Amino acid sequence: NAGVTQTPKFQVLKTGQSMTLQCAQDMNHEYMSWYRQDPGMGLRLIHYSVGAGITDQGEVPNGYNVSRSTTEDFPLRLLSAAPSQTSVYFCASTARGEAFFGQGTRLTVV
Amino acid sequence: GNSVTQMEGPVTLSEEAFLTINCTYTATGYPSLFWYVQYPGEGLQLLLKATKADDKGSNKGFEATYRKETTSFHLEKGSVQVSDSAVYFCALSRTGTASKLTFGTGTRLQVTL
């Protein structure tokens, strides 16, 4: 019963470094999404995918890239980290009108 | 655009008290409405949902009714428990698939003995 698995759980980056946040789901869901959670702002959609090979931008896509080469995986890439990207990141997969969330990655950019 | 407005928290209640967390939304058409709960250190879990006007979602003693005339989806529970302490998020989706959710800012609930 893995559901949605995110790695790592915690990460500290220096400004300008790059990294990839991993997300994998084992429920064979077509839809996957990335959100960031900031204090006082709820969760905001970064990018989403409606199936392998198809991605689109959400509300706050700048500074982030995604790809979806398989149904299971939906990695989020930060090409050049900035302090404004300090946040908690959640991946979700969706089916039948319900979103299932991972446990999150807490990212700090110094 | 779409937006969700929730009451500010934190909300502090004694065990067995009645809970209401207000949620109103702005969206065109007929969005689906959701309440998600986030326990400390965890991801979000779906608590309940409603997909059309006058629908009532319910789960674990929590209820919310989709009111299109007032564009509201208030969360209620008749008797809260300490274990209900968490952050509650109201959200909407216009896609019907919940792949693109618009969230409110969240309301922290603290229940004390």
Question: In terms of C-beta density within 10 A (0-12 exposed, 13-18 middle, 19 or more buried), how is residue B62 classed?
Answer: buried
Answer yes or no: is pLDDT of B97 > 90. no
Answer yes or no: is pLDDT of A8 > 80. yes
Name which of B4, B33, B51, B101 to mutate to probe chain A: the one with the most chain A Cβ atoms within 10 A of its Cβ. B101
d(Cα B53, Cα A4) in Å, to the nearest integer? 31
> Chains A and B: how many Cβ contacts under 8 Å?
64
Among partner residues B4, B51, B105, which is closest to A97 by beta-carbon distance?
A: B51
Proportion of chain B above pLDDT 90, given as a percent:
81
Q: Helix-strand-coil percent breakdown of chain B, rounded to 5?
A: 5, 50, 45
Q: Which residue did the predictor score with more confidence, A96 or A74? A: A74
The predicted pLDDT at position A1 comes to: 63
Span A82-92, pLDDT tens digits: 999 999 999 99
Helices and strands in chain A: count of H runs, count of E runs: 0, 11
Q: Which residue did the predictor score with more confidence, B96 or B76? A: B76
Q: CA-based Rg of chain A, rounded to a whole angstrom?
A: 13
Is the Cβ–Cβ distance between B89 and A42 less than 8 Å?
yes
Q: Which residue did the predictor score with more confidence, A39 or B80? A: B80
